[in-house]
């Protein structure tokens, strides 16, 4: 008896909503604390990535060694509020 299953491969997320500590206007992201665990993975896997940043700075102000997610994976950056429980 033959099985009629079809393998279509893994499917990724359509949208990722992630929180960053700092971002520049291009979308390069810097995280702090536990945000470094899954946010970079979700940003690279999603079709559209929207990042909420506590602070948005001009391009060139972030230290390149501290950037975790490069702007190529980020579609939108919005300014968020500082979460008091993490300060």
Tens digits of residue pLDDT in 24-83? 999 999 998 888 899 999 999 999 999 999 999 999 999 999 999 999 999 999 998 876
- Three-class SS of residue 36? helix
Predicted TM-score of the model (pTM): 0.79
Say if CB 62 and CB 30 are below 8 A apart: yes
Which one-letter DSSP state was computed for residue 69? B
Say if CB 79 and CB 47 are below 8 A apart: no
């Amino acid at each position: 008896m033959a099985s009629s299953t079809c393998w279509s491969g893994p499917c990724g997320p359509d949208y990722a909503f992630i929180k960053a500590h700092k971002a520049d206007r291009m979308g390069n992201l810097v995280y702090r604390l536990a945000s470094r665990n899954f946010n970079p993975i979700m940003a690279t896997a999603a079709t559209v990535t929207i990042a909420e940043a506590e602070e948005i700075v001009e391009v060139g102000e972030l230290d390149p060694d501290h950037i975790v997610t490069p702007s190529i994976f980020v579609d939108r950056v919005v300014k968020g509020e500082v979460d008091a429980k993490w300060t």
